[in-house]
Amino acid sequence: MAEAKVAPRPLSPHLQIYRWSWTMAMSIFHRATGSALYLGIALFAVWLVALASGPGPFETVQWFFGSPIGILILFGYTWVLMHHMLGGVRHLVWDFGHGMEPAQRINMARFTLIGSIALTVLIWVVAFIAF
């Protein structure tokens, strides 16, 4: 049997070709943060199952989340969660056909990053004061 010849067709350029733009970066961030949350929810499941298992397992898990590594994970988790939430709201606005103009979409993309950082800091400051 003769091998089928593949014509040397031009390929569409990929990520490394393009100049980074806000909308492109925030689109990638949205997918990346979604994937991180997908794995990160397992931490919450572990925490809940430990709580349901008894004081021993609970103390172990609570100790881990209170350690420097645990706090760092929770802080990162907060930012990832806020970023994905604001990114999702941005996508919902687009789904309704609003915010499609160049200036609007760049401002919305910037707001996603700035807003998520602001919310993360706010949550941690309030959590420290209130609890």
Report the interface residues with other proteins, using CB under 8 A. 31, 34-35, 37-38, 41-42, 44-45, 48-49, 51-52, 55, 58-59, 62, 65-66, 74, 78, 81, 85, 88-89, 91-92, 95, 123, 126-127, 130-131
The DSSP secondary structure of 90-125, one letter per residue, reads: HHHHHHTT-S-SHHHHHHHHHHHHHHHHHHHHHHHH
- Closer of 39 and 103 to other proteins (Cβ): 39
Residue the block writes with tokens 């490394």:
16
54: three-class secondary structure by DSSP: coil
Beta carbon of residue 3, minimum distance to other proteins (angstroms, whole number): 20
Query: Please, which residue, 91 or 110, has the CB nearer to other proteins?
Result: 91
Closest CB 8 distance from other proteins, rounded Å: 20
CB of 83 to other proteins, least distance (A): 12
In the complex, what is the shortest distance from the CB of residue 9 to other proteins, in angstroms, rounded to a whole number?
17
Measured from the CB atom, the residue of 72 and 127 that comes closer to other proteins is 127
Instruction: List, in order, residues 6 or more apart from 113 with CB less than 8 Å away.
Output: 26, 29, 83
- Residue nearer to other proteins on the CB measure, 29 or 103: 29
Q: What is the spatial distance between Cα 87 and Cα 108, in angstroms, rounded to a whole number?
A: 9
Nearest to 119 by CA among 91, 92, 79: 79
Angle at 18 between CA 39 and CA 82, to 5 degrees: 30
